[in-house]
């Protein structure tokens, strides 16, 4: 019996082909048990907290590369591009590692532009959760016997460009897509129809 009852919507879209998967910081502890069977690659920070996250992710089936947007940024980005080119999905928290929450950084967009793969925004909704209030990203864990919906929304793609204004626009697109995916996850959790 599962402690958290999870409903996965649209996850099959990410199977069988390389792709990018975009998530928000804060959702990672709720989501990490849900994608390990796909063997995706995660970028995990080189921090002390990142070491624990890397070990847990590897135990759940993930491939891990270390780096962040502040330390080891170029190396981390190159490793993720290489993972996609080798046929893997990559998962990236797009608003980190230091926030602000809900503001997309260009890393994931550069990855999908360079490799030509689709980007899937992922939303999550949980009926009951424990929030670690002292963390900047308000990370949470679903409580035992809660219900959870993971919603993988339709893919988005971006033309390859290095124009600053275009990149800013693409970042806003990712933010809107993630907000919509979260809204759809909440609707499914409430028993609503998303069509």
Q: Considering only CA atoms, give the Rg of the chain.
A: 16
What is the rounded CA–CA span in Å between residue 131 and residue 108?
A: 26
Segments of the chain assigned E as strands: 5-9, 20-23, 41-44, 63-66, 90-93, 119-126, 129-131, 140-142, 147-152
Average pLDDT over residues 123-127: 95
For helices 73-85 and 107-115, give the axis angle rounded to 10 degrees: 30
- How far is it, in rounded angstroms, from Cα 185 to Cα 41? 24
Q: Is 159 helix (H, G, I), strand (E, B) or coil?
A: coil
87-106 residue pLDDT tens: 989 988 898 766 688 899 98
Which range, of 27-36, 45-54, 143-152, averages the lowest pLDDT? 45-54
pLDDT, tens digit (0-9, with 9 covering 90-100), for 178-190: 999 999 999 999 9
Taking residues 160-185, report their average pLDDT.
Answer: 91
- Closest C-alpha among 159, 125, 129, 157 to residue 143: 129
Mean pLDDT of the chain: 85
Q: What is the pLDDT of residue 156?
A: 94
How many H-runs (helices) and E-runs (strands) does the chain carry? 5, 9
Rounded-to-integer distance, Cα 41 and Cα 106, Å:
18
pTM of the model: 0.87
pLDDT of 14 strictly over 90: no
């Amino acid at each position: 019996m599962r402690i958290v009852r999870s409903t996965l919507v649209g996850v099959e879209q990410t199977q069988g082909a390389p792709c990018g998967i975009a998530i928000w910081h804060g959702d990672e502890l709720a989501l990490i048990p849900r994608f390990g069977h796909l063997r995706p690659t995660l970028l995990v920070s080189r921090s002390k907290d990142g070491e624990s996250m890397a070990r847990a992710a590897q135990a759940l089936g993930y491939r891990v590369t270390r780096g962040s947007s502040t330390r080891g940024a170029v190396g981390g980005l190159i490793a993720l591009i290489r993972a996609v080119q080798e046929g893997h999905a990559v998962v990236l928290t797009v608003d980190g590692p230091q926030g602000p929450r809900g503001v997309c950084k260009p890393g994931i967009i550069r990855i999908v532009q360079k490799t030509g793969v689709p980007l899937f925004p992922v939303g999550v909704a949980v009926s009951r959760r424990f929030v670690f209030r002292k963390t900047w990203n308000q990370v949470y864990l679903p409580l035992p016997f809660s219900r959870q919906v993971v919603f993988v929304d339709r893919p988005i793609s971006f033309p390859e460009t290095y124009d600053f204004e275009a990149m800013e626009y693409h970042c806003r697109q990712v933010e809107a897509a993630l907000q919509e995916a979260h809204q759809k996850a909440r609707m499914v959790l409430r028993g609503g129809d998303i069509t």
